[in-house]
Amino acid sequence: MRHPDVVVAGAGVVGAACAEALSRAGLRVLVLDRGAPASGTTAAGEGNVLVSDKEPGPELVLARASRRRWPELLAELREELGPAAAEAEWEPKGGLVVATTEETAAPLQGFAKAHRDVGIRAEPITLDEVASREPWLTRKLTAAIHYPEDAQLQPVLAATTLLAAVRARGGEVRPGVRAVGVRRGENGAVQAIRTDRGEFPCAAVVNACGPWAGAFAADCGAPIAVLPRRGLVLVTAPLPPGTVQHKVYDADYVGAVASGDAELQTSTVVESTRAGTVLIGSSRQRAGFDETIRFDVLRELARKAAALFPVLANVPVMRAYGGFRPYTPDHLPVIGEDPRLPGLWHATGHEGAGIGLAAATGQLLAELFTGRESTVDATPFRVGRPAVAEEVRA
């Protein structure tokens, strides 16, 4: 493609969702990735599409829009591409958030009440109801909330489905091309993206480089604060169906998500996949791009998961892996045009929720790009806010 309208740098789930929404709006889109599509953080994502872990505020608004958009989008793509090319293992399985101590019961109940106040279904359930929903879950619980709106999909399949739609509409996806900056015209706006394979003329570039978005933004001369936040996950061998039915997590997970602490935190998150494996997460730590798989962290994850689901104490672990969440200091994604550099757009910084938030992020970016009325208020995600670009005055 010689003259795309837009070049998206980064073919993770967020770049793929932006490219899909832009091509749906009729734009010619070229997607570049220095590696293979969905080979970055997207490959590490557990695939949760959650409303339950977000406190009322702008991220929850985006999460609800995305929760509505994902099944609709996947159904549209199945129609457009056929069921074989558009299968992302969408499962509206619901979430179960539990408290295991007296100290965490009241905060969990308060959090659920705050959710109900803004219209989220957050249903307190009795221990008998818990037992009927999750027979293998510990009975040593002090509170439990059922979130029927929580869902799950397979992140790599979701990203490749979105990219298949881009190709089907005449767009192009090029793996193995590293973006190294942009060329600006005399008016200061983007004229081309610079890559290790030469320049591609275009009037707009979307920075969807995930945890590497800060580096690409700096290469463009418009730095933004996006940092890596490490996470490790354990994967069991396939278990009998029904061993774990919902996404189940300990109430302390919400505190770990919201915390900006650089130190290591672990909280228990357990869920099954369609393949039968059970994913056990997750840890959070800001330690740069250190790829070490730490056994002490894995041991802690395993210990806490077995306390929640005692049956897991005796199952084989198949593998462990890690990834880097794209973290911003105020825990909100960055979505919109850079006021310092016309034609440079950012869609990044979704930290531990980029899979869930991708569908609405793509939609919002395309709405802003084409000047249509936006589904959600984009102001909280603007590039020029102090936490992201201190020196920018939008």
42 is a site residue for ligand FAD (CB under 6 A):
yes
216 is a site residue for ligand FAD (CB under 6 A):
yes
Which residue is listed with tokens 């060329």? 183
39 is a site residue for ligand FAD (CB under 6 A):
yes
> Among residue numbers 250 through 289, which ones bind ligand FAD (CB under 6 A)?
281-282
Burial of 180 (0-12, 13-18, 19+ CB in 10 A): middle
Taking the complex as a whole, the smallest distance from the CB of residue 325 to ligand FAD amounts, in Å, to: 5
Distance, in Å, from the CA atom of 360 to the CA atom of 383, rounded to the nearest integer, reads: 17
Taking the complex as a whole, the smallest distance from the CB of residue 36 to ligand FAD amounts, in Å, to: 8
Structure tokens at 220: 């463009």
CA dihedral 150, 159, 200, 28 (to 10 degrees): -80
Residue 357 has phi, psi (to 5 degrees) of -85, -5
210 is a site residue for ligand FAD (CB under 6 A):
yes
* Strand, helix or coil for residue 147: strand
Contacts for 153 with CB less than 8 Å, ≥ 6 apart: 47, 49, 70, 74, 88, 89, 90, 91, 355
* Number of residues engaging ligand FAD in binding (CB under 6 A): 43
338 is a site residue for ligand FAD (CB under 6 A):
no
Of 113-121, 160-168, 248-256, 318-326: span binding ligand FAD (CB under 6 A): 318-326
Residues 4-17 as b/e (b if ≥16 CB within 10 A, e otherwise) read bbbbbbbbbbbbbb
Of 32-40, 78-86, 285-293, 294-302: span binding ligand FAD (CB under 6 A): 32-40
154 is a site residue for ligand FAD (CB under 6 A):
no
| Closer residue to ligand FAD, CB minimum distance, 109 or 304 | 304
Distance, in Å, from the CA atom of 266 to the CA atom of 297, rounded to the nearest integer, reads: 8
Of 82-90, 93-101, 209-217, 258-266: span binding ligand FAD (CB under 6 A): 209-217
The residues that touch ligand FAD, with contacts defined as CB under 6 A, are 9-15, 32-35, 39-42, 44-48, 178-179, 208-212, 216, 231, 233, 281-282, 323, 325-326, 348, 350-356
